[in-house]
Chain A
Amino acid sequence: MKLTLHVWRQSGPTAPGRFETYVAPDVNEHMSFLEMLDVVNERLTAEGKEPFAFEHDCREGICGSCGMVINGRPHGKTGLTATCQLHMRHFSDGEELWIEPYRAKAFPVIRDLIVDRSAFDRIIQAGGYISARTGSAPEANAILVPKPAADWAMDAAQCIGCGACVAACPNASAMLFLSAKVSHLGLLPQGQPERYERVQRMLEQHDAEGFGNCTNHGACEAVCPKGISLDFIAKLNRDMLASALRAPVAQE
């Protein structure tokens, strides 16, 4: 099939960007989306032009590196799929695609389709962990975790940190990402001692990074390649309320 691509090109965070149009004349339906981009880039290279940059690594939907907005939708149209596992059989001959980077103040563009998502790392650094000094852990089975809690925690822990939730949110909010980590750790007995302080610190960092706030639209849930549920945001809110009103927080 033949596709027309309008790809966002931008040389740096402050440089002005623009769409450039490329034609992909021989797209095979078994290609992944990124392989289709590879082929276009290979052709640009052969023509002596500079290929466009896009982020990718594992190409099996787990590292969270890839992510671009395809026709207004992060990770494209299939749902529950990262861009790297989006296959060309979902497109049809003659289609026109607009490919843009994630757009959010907290995710400045580095180059072309690559954005800087280090804000996510800083949110985790603010408190997205359970303190457990290496070598000090008790026997693993000394901590019993009810199976439903473990399963639920795992649902949240699956987040790959790709940032599609931010990209899709009309407010560029990172609440789905943040709530997934807060819920993963807060659902487990090991996570209780730091539970409320964690919420406060992570939210503080979230706001400082310039993400917007959640208005319960649900666009994040719709594009999440791992299907992280909006329910975790409700859990986060409850923990936030508890942390503000009654729980002991040691940061006074």
Chain B
Amino acid sequence: MRALSSLWRLTVGKKIIMAATGAGLCAFVLGHMAGNLKIFLGREVFNHYAEWLRHIGEPLLPPTAGLCVARLGIIACAALHITMAVQLYLLSDAARPTRYNKVDNSLVLSRTSLMMRLGGVTLGAFILFHLAHLTWGWICPGEYVAGDPYNNVIAGFQHSWLAAFYLLAMVPLCLHLYHGIWSAFQTLGLNSPRYNALRRPLALAFSLLVFVGNASIPLAVQAGVLHL
């Protein structure tokens, strides 16, 4: 038990939890994007997909139970990810009580690594906004139609400020993904001289894919390709 609990107690363990939950969240981001791209197939397909999500696992599970489990999983991942991040931040902050008087900027080898904490906070705020917009319907209350996500997405993105905001939010998301994925390889010890050269490009490809995929929806709405 002591060995297993070291994942919680030791800083490397905490990092491993962060990396593992991060990987789970990456899978979600990818699945979420793939599902959302169905919007290009029309109202019926998209709304049907959204409805289908409520019935995952049926008839083995009661209705919406599958979705609840998935949601709980995602929330647990996010909660652990954030808890570990906060704990590690506090530990690291305490590890250098006195700062250097002179800083050598050339020592910061990766700009994106610096953005992880700030980017993470921004991202958290965006996700809450996103939920408020499309799950709870608080942002554009007049236009929100429960059970018609096709309408809700397109009506929302027809406001150019909202489309622009979503586009902008993809930047911290993808930077976070880019460094996070590479970092997770490192933290989970997925490291071998044979494949190391592939890790950065893979992280880049993944984050670009997410960027392009997600950005395509507000852009398409603004361009008039998608409309009500």
Residues of A within 8 A of B (CB): 19, 69, 71-73, 77, 98, 100, 103-106, 168, 170-173, 175, 196, 200, 203-204, 206-207, 210-219, 222-223, 230-231, 233-241, 243-245, 247, 249, 251-252
B127 contacts A by Cβ under 8 Å? no
In Å, the complex CA distance between A77 and B106 comes to 10
* Shortest beta-carbon distance from A21 to chain B in Å: 13
CB of B118 within 8 Å of the partner chain: no
Name the CB-closest residue of A to B6: A244
Cα(A116)–Cα(B113), bound, Å: 29
Q: Are A171 and B189 in contact (CB under 8 A)?
A: no
B189: A residues at CB distance < 8 A: 234-241
Which residues of B come within 8 Å of A, CB atoms? 1-4, 6-7, 9-16, 88, 91-110, 113-114, 116, 179, 182-183, 185-191, 193, 196
Q: Is the CB of A168 within 8 A of B16?
A: no
CA distance A235 to B190 in the complex (A): 8
Contact B113–A240 (Cβ < 8 Å): no
A-B CB proximity, top 4 nearest: A238-B189, A212-B95, A72-B104, A234-B191
Task: Label chain B's interface by main secondary structure.
Answer: helix
Residue with the greatest number of chain A CB neighbours at <10 A, chosen from B6, B12, B187: B12
**In the complex, chain B residues whose CB is within 8 Å of the CB of A168:** 107
CB distance from B22 to the nearest CB of A (A): 12
The winner among B16, B107, B190, B193 for most chain A CB atoms within 10 A is: B107
A14 to B105, CA, bound (A): 29
Residues of chain B contacted by A105 (CB below 8 angstroms): 94-97
Asked whether, in the complex, the Cβ of B95 is within 8 Å of the Cβ of A223, the reply is no
Bound-state CA distance A210–B90 (Å) is 11
A172 and B92 form a contact (CB under 8 A): yes
The residues of A that contact B6 with a CB separation of less than 8 Å are 200, 203-204, 240, 243-244
Contact check, B186 vs A233: say whether CB atoms are below 8 A apart.
yes
Query: Does the CB pair B188–A237 fall under 8 Å?
Result: yes
Residues of A within 8 A of B196 (CB): 231
Residue of A nearest to B191 (CB): A234
Q: List 26 A-B contacts (CB under 8 A).
A: A71-B102, A72-B104, A73-B104, A98-B101, A98-B102, A103-B99, A105-B96, A168-B107, A171-B92, A172-B95, A200-B6, A203-B6, A204-B10, A210-B94, A216-B110, A217-B109, A219-B109, A230-B186, A234-B186, A237-B12, A240-B16, A241-B189, A243-B3, A244-B16, A249-B3, A251-B2
- Is there an interface contact between B100 and A235, defined as CB atoms closer than 8 Å? no
The contact of A210 among B95, B104, B105, B113, by CB within 8 Å, is B95
Interface contact A215-B96, CB-CB below 8 Å: no
What is the bound-complex CA distance between A216 and B104, given in angstroms?
Answer: 18
Beta-carbon contact of A215 and B109 below 8 Å:
no
* A72-B107 contact, Cβ under 8 Å, with A171-B92, A213-B14: yes
Q: Please tell me which one of the listed residues B15, B94, B101 contacts residue A19 in the complex, with CB atoms under 8 A apart.
A: B101
In this complex, what residue of A is CB-closest to B84? A213
Please report the C-alpha to C-alpha distance between residue A170 and residue B88 in the assembled complex, in whole angstroms: 13
| A170 CA / B99 CA spacing, docked (Å) | 10
Cβ distance B3 to chain A, nearest Cβ, rounded Å: 4
Do B186 and A244 touch across chains, with their CB atoms under 8 A apart?
no
What residues on A are CB-neighbors of B182 within 8 Å?
216
Chain B CB within 10 Å, residue with most, of A216, A238, A252: A216
- Asked if residues B191 and A238 are in contact (CB atoms below 8 Å), the reply is yes
**Inter-chain contact A252/B95, CB cutoff 8 Å:** no
Residue in A98, A106, A212, A216 whose beta carbon sits within 8 Å of that of B92 in the complex:
A212
Further pairs besides A200-B3, A207-B11, A244-B3: 11, Cβ < 8 Å: A69-B102, A106-B95, A172-B95, A173-B95, A212-B91, A212-B92, A213-B11, A216-B187, A237-B186, A238-B191, A240-B13
Residue of B nearest to A218 (CB): B109
Tell me the smallest distance from the CB of B6 to a CB of chain A, in Å. 5
Q: Which B residues are CB-close (under 8 A) to A249?
A: 2-3
CB-nearest residue of chain A to B10: A203
CA distance A244 to B9 in the complex (A): 11
Chain A's nearest CB lies how many Å from the CB of B91?
6
Q: With A223-B107, A252-B1 in contact, do A171 and B191 touch (Cβ < 8 Å)?
A: no
Residue of A213, A216, A222, A223 touching B91 (CB-CB under 8 A): A213
